[in-house]
Amino acid sequence: MRNPTKMTDSTPSYPAIARRKQAHLESQIPAEWKLPTSSIPPGMLSLEDSITKAQQYQRVNVMGIPRTCGVLNSTELEITENWDIRGLLRVIAEKRYTTEDVVRAFCKRAAIAHQLTRCLSEPLFDRALQRAKSLDRHLQKSGKPIGPLHGLPVSIKDSFHVKGVDSTTGIVGLAFQPATENSPLVDLLESLGAVIIGKTNVPQTMGALDSCNYLFGRTLNPLNRQWTAGGSTGGEGVLIAMRGSMVGFGTDVGGSIRVPAMCNGIYGFKPSVGRVPYRGQEKGHMPGKGRVSMQAVAGPLVRSVADLGAIMEEIVPRAELFAEDCIPGRWQGEFPFRLPETQARNVTIGVLRSDGIVEPLPPIARVLDEVAQALRRTPGIDVVEIPVPPAFTKCQAVAGRLMIVDGGNPMMDLIEGTGEPLIPWLQSWMKRRRELTLSQLGQLQDQRSLLERELLKMWTLNSGSERRIDAIIHPVAPHPVPEIDRYNAVGYTSSFVLLDYPTGTIPVRPVRESDLEIGKEMDAPVLGSWDKANRLLWNEQTVNRRVYLDSPLSIQVITPKQRDYELFRAMEIIDRAVKVRDGEKMAAKL
């Protein structure tokens, strides 16, 4: 059989391959699940236009369309909107809904979400419904679920392998090369009873923070099409926000879980290395790159902190049995993350306001301060300010160099092989470079070790073991959710991959009119080129600040290496404090 990605003449082959891939995707959505044209807001441009003419998108929120389009019946709306993970698993086990009913409801909702946002890369609806029927037969015959996640609809980032299905990572040259085996995470999820309903869109090469490529187009933010959906797990962030899946799994080496969580107003969890199976995602990279450079991790995106706990408590204890890149683990923690009335000492939360390279824009500084104030009012919590450690300002540079140890040349070979252009976000910086020598790599890893050693002091405030910081709050980015292709500073997220600190995203509130400070510019000195670029997202001569109105404002929560359960508990405490604050404000208005 002819290789469909091989160029046979001087004409670029990527458009033809993309058309074939789009036709295949379209064929996976049943006709009765297709939206009427009147339900799709104008501006769904052609595949290539969605990348090259993205600035034409208008401010449109499509979150309510699944409820009003008529594709979902009342029971399917109830299934997809009324349950958290534990609640849905309970009613499936009690046979209130069949697994087939649940999976069909989420497949239909995922299909709706895709037609509005281009969030899917591989719909797996037929496969999922067949598995759902098998799970129902098992439950009917044995009276017991097949596992603790029996019937749970799950979606995964395009980079994970499902046998018989492509894993293109947004590169045309990898289309029509189906995987020969599942990724370990897929095997683990299915062993627990979960049902994989689809794979989701990513940026070309997975090396950008805006999810678009020439195979599937641009994934649009359902809250506002002018905003980026984030990347590289952008399709997953959109699908979870639109309730097209109960939990999505992405990967993170520079912020690729936490950034889409921020952009779509949901929760993201970047664990430590070894907690969730990652293996099998090196297409386009030097083999073994993850073992010698920055080691990416896999983790979940969900709609609540409780759902984080529900999924991680099943995965972490079993991960070592499925993948060699995982370590033995238990989903339980240590003092002091207990209820305030039973713990021996207060929980101490540090506030790290900046990375020292890029100054947060006013809405970001304000929301971080609001969360700190809410925590100060919470019994059992101490809040302390953490000055930016000098070593922290060096993390971004080391992380950036470790991400390109292979020079990016294997990836460029794939892209150039079909004549595929680079997407806008990558055009300014992606190019061929020299591979690092062993000596250069060793020097970089030595610098990394020094930074890790220096930043241990951040957790003790330079006082040895006298006062330990239990968790830190920090911006996800120094700017609000930006317009398409304008995401700026990755150092706020990539530094914690370099350090291997588990890190999560919590949505706090939307941007308000008062956050925009119309007519007032920042007067703090510009710190450097990254900071200068960030100011362009606030300068009223280069942006209309009202574009940020109603966009989600989020924070990061960080704990030390391998303290993943403690991160979950810290997120619980902080999320509860934020909700109490919002509840008190609402009550004061009544």
**What confidence score (pLDDT) does residue 7 get?**
46
**What confidence score (pLDDT) does residue 289 get?**
86
How far, in Å, CA of 236 to CA of 260, rounded?
8
Does residue 179 lie within any of the structural domains?
Answer: yes
Please write the tens of the pLDDT for every residue from 437-465: 999 999 999 999 999 999 999 999 766 65
Position 82 pLDDT exceeds 70: yes
Band (pLDDT 50/70/90 cuts) for residue 61 is: very high
CATH number at residue 29: 3.90.1300.10
Q: What is the mean pLDDT of residues 107-112?
A: 98
53 vs 133: which has the higher pLDDT: 133
Does residue 31 lie within any of the structural domains?
Answer: yes
Determine contact, residues 266/240, Cβ cutoff 8 Å.
yes
Does residue 321 lie within any of the structural domains?
Answer: yes
Amino acid at 36: P
Please write the tens of the pLDDT for every residue from 530-557: 999 999 999 999 999 999 999 999 999 9
How far, in Å, CA of 111 to CA of 383, rounded?
44
Instruction: Flag the least confident range among 47-51, 155-159, 220-224, 367-371.
Output: 47-51
User: Measured in whole angstroms, how far is the alpha carbon of residue 227 from the centre of its chain?
Assistant: 16
How far, in Å, CA of 229 to CA of 223, rounded?
9
Which residues does the annotation mark as catalytic?
Answer: 157, 232, 256
Question: Based on the structure, what is the number of domains in the chain?
Answer: 1
Please give the annotated binding residues for substrate, written as ranges: 206, 232, 253-256
Does residue 9 lie within any of the structural domains?
Answer: no
**What confidence score (pLDDT) does residue 414 get?**
92
Cβ neighbours for 586, distance < 8 A, ≥ 6 positions apart: none
Please write the tens of the pLDDT for every residue from 493-535: 999 999 999 999 999 999 999 999 999 999 999 999 999 999 9
What DSSP string runs through 368-413? Answer: HHHHHHHHHTSTTEEEEE----GGGGGHHHHHHHHTTTTTTHHHHH
Does residue 498 lie within any of the structural domains?
Answer: yes
Share of the chain above pLDDT 70, in %: 93
How far, in Å, CA of 281 to CA of 278, rounded?
7
Does residue 1 lie within any of the structural domains?
Answer: no
The residue whose two tokens read 């289309």 is 175
Determine contact, residues 208/232, Cβ cutoff 8 Å.
yes
Please write the tens of the pLDDT for every residue from 121-133: 999 999 999 999 9
Q: What is the mean pLDDT of residues 428-440?
A: 92
Does residue 6 lie within any of the structural domains?
Answer: no
Both tokens of 557, joined, read: 């929560």
- Helix, strand, coil shares, percent, the chain, to 5: 40, 10, 45
For residue 232, is the peptide bond before it cis, meaning its omega torsion is within 30 degrees of 0? yes
Both tokens of 326, joined, read: 């995982």
The parent domain of residue 67 ranges over: 14-589
For residue 336, is the peptide bond before it cis, meaning its omega torsion is within 30 degrees of 0? yes
Position 5 pLDDT exceeds 70: no
Determine contact, residues 557/471, Cβ cutoff 8 Å.
yes
Position 8 pLDDT exceeds 50: no
H/E stretch holding 200? strand 195-200
Where b means 16+ CB within 10 Å and e means fewer, 283-292 reads bbbbeebbeb
For the chain, give the mean pLDDT. Answer: 93
Position 402 pLDDT exceeds 50: yes
How far, in Å, CA of 147 to CA of 16, rounded?
43
Which one, of 194, 29, 193, 207, lies nearest residue 120 by Cα?
A: 29
Position 224 pLDDT exceeds 80: yes
Does residue 8 lie within any of the structural domains?
Answer: no
**What confidence score (pLDDT) does residue 589 get?**
55
Which one, of 330, 339, 336, 250, lies nearest residue 562 by Cα?
A: 330
The residue whose two tokens read 């591979």 is 435
Q: What is the mean pLDDT of residues 3-20?
A: 68
Band (pLDDT 50/70/90 cuts) for residue 140 is: very high
User: Measured in whole angstroms, how far is the alpha carbon of residue 105 from the centre of its chain?
Assistant: 23
**What confidence score (pLDDT) does residue 2 get?**
37
Determine contact, residues 312/174, Cβ cutoff 8 Å.
no
**What confidence score (pLDDT) does residue 48 get?**
83
How far, in Å, CA of 374 to CA of 584, rounded?
11
**What confidence score (pLDDT) does residue 288 get?**
83
Please write the tens of the pLDDT for every residue from 231-248: 999 999 999 999 999 999
Where b means 16+ CB within 10 Å and e means fewer, 533-572 reads ebbebbeeeebebebbbbbbbbbbbbbbebbbbbbbbbbb
Please write the tens of the pLDDT for every residue from 321-342: 999 999 999 998 764 555 455 5
How far, in Å, CA of 189 to CA of 185, rounded?
6
